[in-house]
Every structure is written in C-alpha cells, then in structure tokens.
Amino acid sequence: MKKTVLHDNHVKLGAKMVEFAGYHMPISYTSITEEHMAVRDRAGVFDVSHMGEIVIIGEKATDFVDYVFTNNVRSMTANQVLYGMFCEADGGVVDDLLVYKINDEHYYLVVNASNIDKDLTWLHKNNRFGVDIIDQSDATSEIAVQGPFAESMLQKATDYDLSTLRFFTFDDMVVYDHDVMVSRTGYTGEDGVEIYGSHEAIKDIFERLLADNERLTPCGLGCRDTLRFEVALPLYGNELSHDITPIMAGYGFAVSFDKGDFIGKDVLKKQKDDKPSRRVVGLEMVDKGILRHGYAVYSGERQVGHITTGYIAPTTGESVAMALVDRAHAKKGNELEVAIRKRRVKVKVRNKKFYDKNTKQ
Amino acid sequence: MKTPKELYYTESHEWVKVEDGFAYIGITDYAQDSLGEIVFVELPEENEQVNQFEEFAAIESVKAASDLNSPVSGVIVAVNEELDDNPELLNEDPYENWIIKVELEDETELNKLMNAEEYKEHCE
C-alpha cells in the first residue's frame, strides 16, 4: 500500500488508518462528527496527497482540454480553476476533476486518486492534438485547509494577500518559505484553500500550520465525505459514474453546450433537452434508520433506484441521502421506500442540498 | 481496552453476561472503538427467537452499518430501549449498556465462547 508524505504524522496524531485508492489514509483522528464540525465552525486540515495531478502541455493544449472536458475551457482566463468531467461518447463519466489554467499551452488537472490510471489511458487515447500528458501525481503532495478560519490561519504563513485570491482561482506563492501553488477551492462547502507542492514543502507546511494554530483540527477522509455530502457535491463512484451522467446527477452547470465539440456532447445535449430518464435527488427519512450507498429504492414492489450516499448529516442531525431514481418518481415530496436489511422504511424526495455552502462566491 | 473477567466473548466482538438463567448481550470495548461514534441501533422485538452466532440487531456508526451476532440462543425477554434515543451510550460504556436480554436456552453454548484472556488475545 502507498503512503503519503504525511503518513507518519497521521499515525503520531493517533489517526484511525484505512486503505483508500491504494493509499494508507486517515479516516479520522478523534471522531468524524467532531472533525466535521471543526470545519463548519473553525478550520480543518486534510491530507489529500492521494489525488492525481496531470499536466497538459503543448501548442494545442487548450484545444485538447476543451475536447476532453465537459466545461468551457476557452472561456477560462489564466489562474482560473474550473470544475467539470471527462465523459465517454455515451455520456458516462470517466472522472470528475478540476482544471487549472496556467496559460493557453499549459493546464494542470486534478483528478480522483482511484481514477488516475484510467484517466491517463483515456487521455492518451484521445490525444489527437499532439500534447504532452505528464503524470505528476507521485511527485506532488496536497493538503486542503477548509473552514471559516482557513484564510486567516494561512495568512500568517504568507506575504501574499489572500483576500485577493478569489473563489476558484489559484496562484503561486511562498508559504513558510516554500514555493507552492494555492487555490481557493475545496470539497467541504466552506471557504478554504488547497495547497499543492513538493513532498517536503507540504510536510513542513502541514506541521507548521498545526503548530501555529491551536484551533486548526487535523481531519480525515471520513468527514471529507460527510462535508461534501451535506452540500450535495458529488463523489465519483456514487453520484457520478460510468452509468450516471452529469445531467442525470444534476451537475449540468459543469457541462457547457456553448462550445465546440467535446466527447459525449451529443448524448448529453439530447439528455438535457429530453430530460434524463433518471435523476439524482435528495431523500429524507420518514421512519428511523440510516440510508446507505447501494440500498434499493422502491415505489410499491418496483425498484425505482438506489441510494448513492447517505448519512445522518452531522451539521443538521437529519437522516438524509442522495439517490438515483427514475424520473417519474423524482418529484419533490414524493414518498418512496428503501430496503434496509429486512425492513422497508419510508422516505420522502427533497432538495439534495442539505446544508447551504459558505464559500466565497 | 477493557475486557471484564466475568463475561464471555464472541469472535465478532459481542459479550454475554449470565445471571439467574438470563443472558445480557452487548458489544465490547474493542467493537465500539473500531466502529467509532454509534449513531443508530436497529433493535429487535421482544419475544423474538435468537440463535447462537446469528444476527439479531444492527448497529450504525457515522460511516457504516454492522450486524450484531448473538453469543447464545434463546427468546428475547427485554430490549434496551434507551439505545433508541441514546445510541452513543454504547460508546460511553459498552459493558454497562446491554442491548438485549435473552432467556438462556442451553448453558453448554457458553463453552463455544471465549473468556476474557482468550478474547484479549483474539483482539491483538
């Protein structure tokens, strides 16, 4: 199993470690709920070094990224970040990712750890633009600092004026004497940053941020999932997959049809115009229990979908879930049932945003 | 990790305490620690029959659901309904908070369980 540069720090901090995407990663240090609330109320730091970083360089880099990515790359300015997907011709999602534009001939793609190899194969297969595709995942470490105090904590470690770093932009800066790249992005629904750098730089920044900020909480992958879930951010493999297109999942904002050809465009456009056959919706529990990924959703005796992610939302205490259901049953207020082990419980369709984001828009 | 001497243990981390022909059944300290925060317990009904090493309830932590297996066979005579509203009691004191009380059917079943020493070794 692979280890990130922060592995020994996690163990020393008493983390419960699990295997995730081939890495030995912390699931939590104290408790998922405590870490979750630390990010909502103060700030938390996450090791996300397992994420993949792929660099695209070439004269036709813009043409290439615009062709493989669902969102509008030509509209991007330098130092901007854009969220979107790689899709197959049938609209199925290969991966969801962030695209960082360095300049017209240079892009930085941040992809899911479990999809790095698949993404690379797919990018090479579709490289009819002669660009260089460079996997920098093993040479790059990454931490995320998230929460209302994230900016002020990081500000103490850099001369760069972070108040000028707008949501979904990035810049190079010096943090605790290290040259790193910082973006105002995250996966929690809170304000915050993600920091990319060499292994040595990230290890030192992680340690010094924790030493200098008593109210900064080390956070594991457990609360990373509950945080993104509450604000309806998708997880690849749950809300997006080879079978679940961005249109079905309700992330049409990340698919731009006002641009040239891109892989999957025709199918996704048709799906948007005709309305998709299935949709990702929010569900709330009417009875008791917790809705888990994979549980079947029923209308009477007919299975009409499945749970993609479910929890007792730590911030609100509600037992809620996201589920992929047939469109006929996707209307808000509609009552459905879910099979939990030997029981059937009643659930109700609702908006899937269980908690409002506090990001700096 | 606590492992009280007077209890019997299963490989799947349940404990049983026998008193006056009744068996009180719960989860071990090791189990509550590895599960993390327990947020829901799906309790069985009174008068249901449980069988040794078979599922009788489910316990949910923030992250996942796990089945509980009964250390002994018998009819459930009481269910700890306090766990409905306060599942975290299982984290706070897993030995004080039993989950079900069963009328013990066959005392020889206890021979198939581990004592505290054996259970400690099993957890290592």
Please say whether the beta carbons of A152 and A203 come within 8 A: no
Residue B40 domain flag? yes
Could you read off the pLDDT of A99-121 as tens digits, one per residue?
999 999 999 999 999 999 999 99
Q: Is A263 helix (H, G, I), strand (E, B) or coil?
A: coil
Give the CATH number for residue A94. 3.30.70.1400
pLDDT at A308 over 70: yes
**Nearest CB partner across the interface for A290, out of B36, B37, B40:** B40
pLDDT at A86 over 80: yes
Same domain, A146 and A214: yes
Determine the distance in angstroms separating the CA of A223 from the nearest CA of chain B, rounded to an integer. 9
Residue B118 domain flag? no
Same domain, A42 and A159: yes
Give the CATH number for residue A361. 2.40.30.110
Residue A354 domain flag? yes
Same domain, A226 and A285: no
**Residues listed for chain B:** 124
CB neighbour list of residue A75: distance below 8 Å, 6 or more residues apart: A256, A259
Same domain, A164 and A285: no
What residues in B contact A311, CB-CB < 8 Å? 62
Residue B58 domain flag? yes
pLDDT at B1: 86
Give the CATH number for residue B75. 2.40.50.100
Structural domain total, chain A: 3
**Nearest CB partner across the interface for A222, out of B39, B42, B62:** B62
Could you read off the pLDDT of A168-192 as tens digits, one per residue?
999 999 999 999 999 999 999 999 9
Determine the distance in angstroms separating the CA of A220 from the nearest CA of chain B, rounded to an integer. 12
> Do the chains contact at A31 and B36, CB–CB below 8 Å?
yes
Residue B115 domain flag? no
pLDDT at B65 over 80: yes
> Do the chains contact at B36 and A16, CB–CB below 8 Å?
yes
Please say whether the beta carbons of A192 and A147 come within 8 A: yes
Listed residues A115, A137, A159: the one ending a domain? A137
Q: Which residue does chain B place closest to A36, by CA atoms?
A: B62
Same domain, A158 and A45: yes
User: Band of the pLDDT at A361, cuts 50, 70, 90?
Assistant: low
> Do the chains contact at B37 and A340, CB–CB below 8 Å?
no
What residues in B contact A226, CB-CB < 8 Å? 62
Residue A247 domain flag? no
Range of the domain at A115: 53-137
Same domain, A133 and A153: no
> Do the chains contact at B37 and A32, CB–CB below 8 Å?
yes
Taking any CB pair shorter than 8 Å as contact, residues of chain B touching chain A are 36-37, 39-40, 42, 58, 60, 62-65, 84
> Do the chains contact at B42 and A314, CB–CB below 8 Å?
no
Structural domain total, chain B: 1
Which of A:169-228 have CB within 8 Å of B?
222, 226
Listed residues A82, A111, A137: the one ending a domain? A137
In the structure encoding, which two tokens stand for residue A201, read together? 């730089």
Residue B112 domain flag? no
What amino acid occupies position A88?
Answer: E
Determine the distance in angstroms separating the CA of B17 from the nearest CA of chain A, rounded to an integer. 28
Determine the distance in angstroms separating the CA of B36 from the nearest CA of chain A, rounded to an integer. 7
Q: Mean pLDDT throughout A30-54?
A: 98
What are the C-alpha distances in Å from A4 to residues A51, A187, A202?
10, 19, 10
Determine the distance in angstroms separating the CA of B62 from the nearest CA of chain A, rounded to an integer. 7
In the structure encoding, which two tokens stand for residue B106, read together? 């066959």
Q: Which residue does chain B place closest to A34, by CA atoms?
A: B37
> Do the chains contact at A222 and B63, CB–CB below 8 Å?
yes
What residues in A contact B36, CB-CB < 8 Å? 16, 28, 31-32, 222
pLDDT at A283 over 70: yes
Q: Mean pLDDT throughout B67-74?
A: 97
pLDDT at A360 over 90: no
DSSP per-residue string spanning A26-85: EEESS-HHHHHHHHHHSEEEEE-TTSEEEEEESTTHHHHHHHHBSS-STTPPTTBEEEEE
The answer to ipTM > 0.90 is no
What residues in A contact B83, CB-CB < 8 Å? none
pLDDT at A354 over 90: yes
Q: Which residue does chain B place closest to A287, by CA atoms?
A: B42
Q: Mean pLDDT throughout B94-117?
A: 97
Residue A206 domain flag? yes
Give the CATH number for residue A189. 3.30.1360.120
Same domain, A160 and A13: yes
Please say whether the beta carbons of A236 and A115 come within 8 A: yes
Same domain, A105 and A213: no
Residues in a beta bridge with A171: A182
Q: Return mean pLDDT, chain B.
A: 96
pLDDT at A317: 95
Could you read off the pLDDT of A117-126 as tens digits, one per residue?
999 999 999 9
Range of the domain at B81: 8-107
Listed residues A137, A154, A183: the one ending a domain? A137
Could you read off the pLDDT of A131-171 as tens digits, one per residue?
999 999 999 999 999 999 999 999 999 999 999 999 999 99
Same domain, A175 and A320: no
Q: Count how many pairs of residues, chain A against chain B, have C-beta atoms within 8 Å.
A: 37
